[in-house]
Structure 1
Amino acid sequence: MTELSLLPAVRPRPSAPASAVAATSGAAFDEAVALTRALKLPHIRRAMTDIIPTAKAQRWDPAEVVRALLAEEAAGRAASNLRTRRQRASFPTGKTFHIWNEDAYSIPIPTQSALRTLEWIGRQENLCVVGPSGTGKSHFTEALGQAAVDAGMTVAWFTIEDLGGLVRRHRVDDSVTKAFARLTRTDLVIVDDIGLLPVSADAAEGFYRLVDAAYERKSLAVSSNLHPSGFDEIMPKTLATATVDRLLHHAHVVVTAGDSHRLSEAVNGNGVVALS
C-alpha cells in the first residue's frame, strides 16, 4: 500500500453551473488565495477554483468543504514527496516490479515475495544478490528500491565507484566520515554491479565506510557478480574481510543462476524492433 492510498478520498466534483462561478471571485476569495500562499498550501490553492463553486452549487456542509480542501493538499504533498524521493534515489533505469517477470528468473518465488514485503528494511537487515550477468540482479534490486520509495522510504543508489568519488570529494576538507554518516539517514542504500571491473583504492575505502556506517543502523542491498566471500579478489584482503564481516552479519544472500536474460532476448530477436 502506498502513502497515497492512505489519504482520504476526495469526493468527485462535477462541473459547477455558471451561477456558482462567482464564488471564485471577490475580496474573500482573493484573501483566501493570499492566505494559501502565505501558509504554503499550493494544492489547496489550485483546488479552490473547482471545489468552492461546486460546494456552493451543491450546498455542501462547511466541514465537507474543509475536508475536501485538506484532502487535496495532503494528496498533493504526498505526490510531491514521492517524486522528490524518487529523484533523490538516482535510480539508473526506472525498472519496477510492473515489468518484472517473477517466473523468468532463478530467484525462488517465495524469496521474492518475502523480500517484496520490505520487512527486512524495517529490521535493518541487508540483502546481497549475487550471480552471473543478465540474471536479474540489478532489475530486482532496483525494483525493491522503487517499491521502498512507493512505501514512503528514502533510498540512495550507487555504483561502487560512486562511493570512491564520494571519498575523494570529501577528503579535501576531511569530512569523509560525516559524509558517510549522512548516508545512514537513508532507509536503504543500494550498491550495484560490484565485481564487474577492478575496484580502485578509493572505491574500496568508500564501500567499507558505507558498510561500517550502516552496520545495524540501516539496510544495504548489494548486487554483485562475485559472492561476498570472494571480495578479497577485488579489494585488499584486510579491508575485504572487515567489510564482508559487517555486510553479511544480518544479511539475506540470494544467488541467481542461469543464462543471461539479455542474451536470450537478443538470440530470440526480442532485443530490438524488427526491421521492415
Structure 2
Amino acid sequence: MTRPTAPPMPEDLERILRRMRLPYLRKAAPDVLATARAQRWDPAEVLRVLLNEEVTGRDSATRRMRRKTANFPTGKTLASWRPEESSIPEATQNALTTLEWVGRHENLVISGPSGTGKSHFVEGLAAVAIESDMRVAWFTLETLTQTIGKAKVDGSVARTIARICNVDLIVVDDIGMLPAGQDAAEAFYRVIDAAYERRSIAVTSNIHPSGFDTIMPKTLATATVDRLLHHAHLVITKGDSHRLAEALAGKGVMPLT
C-alpha cells in the first residue's frame, strides 16, 4: 500500500516559510499538519514537532558541512575500527573516545610503526567530535606547510593561524614519513604554539616525539615538542602492519575469478 499524499500547504504559508528560511520545517509541515489534524494534536505539540524538524535538519546539515570542511582523508569512523586488534589498551581507547580530553584542551600523540592503526583511530575520534558538534581541521605536515606557505606570500600568516585554531580539534597526521625542512618545522611550530592550552591537537607519527629533532631543525623541534607534550596523552602502538597482514592473507583485494 502506498501512503496517501498529505495535502499541500496554503501558498501564503509556503511563502512565509521560504522567506523565513525554514526549509526542513517547510518540508515536514504537510505530513505533520495532516497527522496533527487526524490525531487532534494540541497546537503546542504541532509547533514543537515542526521546530524540532528544523533544528534536527540544521544540525545534520552543519555536521555534513563540518565533515567536508575538516577534509578527512578516507572517511573512516570507529564503526570500522576493530578495538580488539589494536595494541592500544581498551581502557585507553574508551577514555579517548569520550573526548573529555578535547574539552580540557589536552593533546593526543600516537606514535608507532606504519600500519598499526594510528590514523584510522584518530580519524574515528575526529568523526566522533563532528557528531558531538565540534569542529575539526585535518592536515598532514605537507598540507599544513603548504597552507602556511601560501599565507606567507600574501602576508596573512597570523589570520591563517587564527583560522586553523578556530576549531576544537586540530589533527596533524603522519609525521615522520619524510624529513621535514625549515618551512615544515616552522609551520608545525606556529600551529602548536598558537593552540597551546587553547585548543586540542592530535598528532600521529611513525617516530616518538623525542626523535622529532632527527627530521626537523633541532631548535624548532625542541620548542614544538615541549609545548605539544606538556598537556598530552602519549600513546605508543606496536606490532606488525595491519595492511601487510591483510595483504598476506589475501584480503587486500577482491579475488580474481
TM (normalized to structure 1)? 0.89
Query: How far apart are residue 33 of structure 1 and its match?
Result: 1.1
- 1:82 matched to which residue of 2? 63
Q: Secondary structure at the match of 1:132?
A: coil
Are 1:159 and 1:192, in contact at CA under 8 Å, matched by a contact in 2? yes
Query: How far apart are residue 59 of structure 1 and its match?
Result: 2.3
- 2:23 matched to which residue of 1? 42
Are 1:128 and 1:251, in contact at CA under 8 Å, matched by a contact in 2? yes
Query: How far apart are residue 145 of structure 1 and its match?
Result: 0.4
Q: Secondary structure at the match of 1:103?
A: helix
Gaps of 5+ in 1: 1-13
Are 1:212 and 1:246, in contact at CA under 8 Å, matched by a contact in 2? yes
- Give the distance between the partners of 1:208 and 1:252, measured in 2 at CA: 19
- 1:8 matched to which residue of 2? none
- Choose from 192, 195, 207 the match for 2:173: 192
Amino acid in structure 2 at the alignment position of 1:155: V
- Is structure 2 residue 184 aligned with structure 1 residue 203? yes
Query: Cα deviations across residues 5-51 of structure 1 (Å, max 9, x unaligned)?
Result: xxxxxxxxx956x8x73xx35xxx21111111111100011111211
Amino acid in structure 2 at the alignment position of 1:100: W
Q: Which runs of 4+ in 1 moved over 3 A?
A: none
Query: Cα deviations across residues 139-165 of structure 1 (Å, max 9, x unaligned)?
Result: 011111011111110001000011111
- Give the distance between the partners of 1:15 and 1:61, measured in 2 at CA: 24
- Is structure 2 residue 246 aligned with structure 1 residue 252? no
- Give the distance between the partners of 2:25 and 2:249, measured in 1 at CA: 52
- Choose from 149, 153, 158 the match for 2:134: 153
The correspondence of residues 83-232 of structure 1 with structure 2, limited to 5 A, is 83-232=64-213
Are 2:213 and 2:221, in contact at CA under 8 Å, matched by a contact in 1? yes
- Give the distance between the partners of 2:29 and 2:3, measured in 1 at CA: 13
- Give the distance between the partners of 2:216 and 2:180, measured in 1 at CA: 7
- Give the distance between the partners of 2:103 and 2:27, measured in 1 at CA: 36
- Is structure 2 residue 36 aligned with structure 1 residue 55? yes
Count, aligned residues: 256
- Give the distance between the partners of 1:217 and 1:184, measured in 2 at CA: 8
Are 1:15 and 1:54, in contact at CA under 8 Å, matched by a contact in 2? no
Are 1:36 and 1:45, in contact at CA under 8 Å, matched by a contact in 2? yes
Q: Secondary structure at the match of 1:269?
A: coil
- Give the distance between the partners of 1:224 and 1:172, measured in 2 at CA: 29
Are 2:181 and 2:217, in contact at CA under 8 Å, matched by a contact in 1? no
Amino acid in structure 1 at the alignment position of 2:52: A
Name the % identity.
57
Gaps of 5+ in 2: none
Amino acid in structure 1 at the alignment position of 2:124: A
Are 1:165 and 1:202, in contact at CA under 8 Å, matched by a contact in 2? no
- Give the distance between the partners of 2:95 and 2:42, measured in 1 at CA: 46
Q: Secondary structure at the match of 1:44?
A: helix
- 1:10 matched to which residue of 2? none
Amino acid in structure 2 at the alignment position of 1:229: S
Are 1:180 and 1:209, in contact at CA under 8 Å, matched by a contact in 2? yes
Amino acid in structure 2 at the alignment position of 1:81: T
- Give the distance between the partners of 2:31 and 2:225, measured in 1 at CA: 57
Are 1:162 and 1:203, in contact at CA under 8 Å, matched by a contact in 2? no
Query: How far apart are residue 70 of structure 1 and its match?
Result: 0.7
